[in-house]
Structure 1
Amino acid sequence: MNINLVQQRLLNDFQRGFPLMPQPFAQIASDLDTTTDEVLDTLRHLSQQGVVSRVGPVFQPNRVGVSTLAAMSVPEPELEKVAAQVSSFEEVNHNYEREHDLNLWFVLTAPDQTALDACIRRMESKTGYDVIVLPMLKEYHIDLGFRMQLDGCARLHEYSENLADTGADQEVCATAENQNSDLIAAIQLGLPLVERPFFEVGRALGLSEEAVIRRIGAMQAEGIIKRMGVVVRHHELGYRSNAMMVLDVPDDRVEAVGWRLSAVDCVTLCYQRPRHLPEWPYNLFCMIHGKDRDDVLACIDDVINELQLADLQRAVLFSKRRFKQRGAVYRKR
C-alpha cells in the first residue's frame, strides 16, 4: 500500500506512548506539524482499510483475565469448517492455519482459568478434536509493537511514560485491576477516534475525563497495560509472510536463549511455553515477520547461525490463512 508521510509517522511512531491528556490527538498533530482533523481522518481511514486494528491499550497477558495459545490437528477437508467453529467462540481473538500436522493455531482469552477451561471443553465437544493448550510460562519479548522500515528514522513517542504527567499514584495502582472492569471493557477494542476520547469513554461510564486518564495511567504504572497506542496489522502493510519458529531448548539454557532471541530485530515475539509430549517437544516460541517467505527464511538462517542454535531441534510454522484477528475481549461490555 502507498502511504504518505503523516500515515508513516502515525503507523510507526505512535504504537506506544499515547498521550494521556484531554486532547491526545491534538498533541500528536502538533508533533506531526499537522491538524487534529487530519490525524483523526487518517486514523479512521487506516482503520477502515484494516491497516490499523485499533488505537488503544495492549494489555499484559494474564494480568487482565487469562489467556493461552492453543492448537489442533485437523484433516485438510475439515479445516475450514472447524476453523469457523473455533472462530465463533467469543474467547478466540486470533485463529490461523499454519504449516504443520498441528495446523490450526489460535489464542483464547477468558476472565479466569475456570472460564478458560470450560471454553476449551465446549470447543472440543463442538469440533470433535482435542485442543493442545500451551500457556505462556515466561515472556522475553511480547510488546507487540511492530517496527516498520518506512522512513529509516522513526522514533517512538513516550508522552505517558512519566507518571507525573498522568497523576497516577500508588493507591490507585494497587486497586487498578479490580476497580476498572467496566473501563477495561470500554477500551479493550480501542478508543473512540474523536477529539476528546477519554471524555467520551468517561461519559458512557459515569466517570470524569480526569478519572479515566488517571485510571489508565495507573494501569500502565501497574503493568496491566503493556503499551498504549496504534495497533497495526502487519499483513495489510505488506508484511505478508510470518512464521512461528519453535525450538526444543534444554531447560537450563532456555532463559539465556530466550533473552538473546528477544534482542534480534526481526523477532517480534519471544516466549517460553510448556512442551506437550509426544506430539509437541518445543518450549521456546518466536514470531518472525517479513515481506515474503524468503525474507523470513533469511532472518531465521541469520538467527540460527549468529546465536549458534543449529544443535537445537526446531520447526518453522509459516502462516497460511488468517481466519480471525482482532483485539482480545477481556471483559464483556
Structure 2
Amino acid sequence: MKSLKRFHVVLLAVLMIGWAFDSMNSGLISGTLTLIIRDLGLTAEEAGRVLSSWLLGMLIGAFALGFVGDRIGRKGASIIALTFMGLFSWTSLAATGWLDLSTYRLLAGMGAAGYMVVASTLLAEYSPAEVRGGLIAFLESAWAFGWLLALLLARIIAPSLGWRPVFNSSLATLALIPIIVVVVPESIRFLVLKGRVGEAEKIIAEAGLDIDISRIKGREKASLSELFRGVYLRRTVMLWIHWFCIVLAYWGIFLWLPHILYARGISYIKSLQYSLLITLAQIPGYWSAAVLIDKIGRKKVLASYMALAGVGSLLFWTAAGDFEALLWASV
C-alpha cells in the first residue's frame, strides 16, 4: 500500500459516502414496501412495476450520464446524478399510486446508476495499478452500509410515523454535493482533452501517478461499437451475462426480502431485523474480495464468489424454516 497517498484515501472516502447514499436510496423502497403496498392498495404486479422502475432508470442513467460525463466532465456528471437521485427519491413520499411512485423511482434510479458509473471510473483513473482492484472493491463495499442505513431508517421511523417520512432522508444525499465540488478532482483525460493541461499535471503530481499526458492527447476516442468487435466481444457478452445473473439474483431477492419474510408470517419489524442481519453478511464478502482481488486475480475471485452466491440462492429457495432461510440468504 506504499503507493497510496492521502489523495487516494480522501477520494475513496468521499466516493464511498456517495456510494452509500446510492444504496440507501435504492434500499428505502425495500424497507418500506410492505407499508406502501398496504397504504396505496397495490397488487403484487403493481408493486413489481414500482421496484422494476428503479432498475429501468438505472439502465437509462448508466448510458445517459456516461455520455454526459464525456461532455461536461465526471465531476459535473456526478453532481447531476446525486441531484436526480436525492430529489426524486425524496419526492417518492408524495406518491398516491403505483404510476407516480414508479415515475419518481425511475428518475431517481437514473441518478443512482449515473453516479456509480462516474464514481467507479474516477477512482479507477486515479488509482495505482497494483491496488486498483482492491480500491474499487472497497468503494463497492459502501453499498452494504447504505442498505443497512435504509433498513435502519425504516425500522426506526416507519412503525410509528409511516413510510412517507422515511424518504425525507434522501435529501441528505444533496449535502454531499458541495464536498464533491471542493474535494473530488476532475478526470485527467477530460482536463487534457479540454486543454487544461496545467490542472491535469498538478493532480497527477498530487496523486503520485506516472501518466504520460502526450499519450492521452494522441489517443483516438473510443466508440461504443468497439465493445462488440475483436477481443472485446467475448468479454462484453460474458460481463453482460454476469451482471444479468447478479441483478436477477441480488435485486430479485433483496428488494423483496422484507416483504417476503412478512408474507411468511414474520412481523414487519422482525422482517426488517432479519433483513439487517442478512445485509450485514455482505460486508465480509466485500472486504475479503478487496483483499484477494489484487493477490489472486479478478477472474478467480469473480468465479468463486459467483459460485458461492449461486449455491446460497438455491439453498435459500429450498429453505424449510426461518433459520435456514437466514443462513442461506446470508451466504
Question: Which structure is richer in relative contact order (CA contacts within 8 A, separation 6 or more)?
Answer: 1
Give the TM-score normalised by the residue count of structure 1.
Answer: 0.23
The structure carrying a bigger strand percent of its residues is 1
Give the TM-score normalised by the residue count of structure 2.
Answer: 0.23
The structure carrying a bigger helix percent of its residues is 2
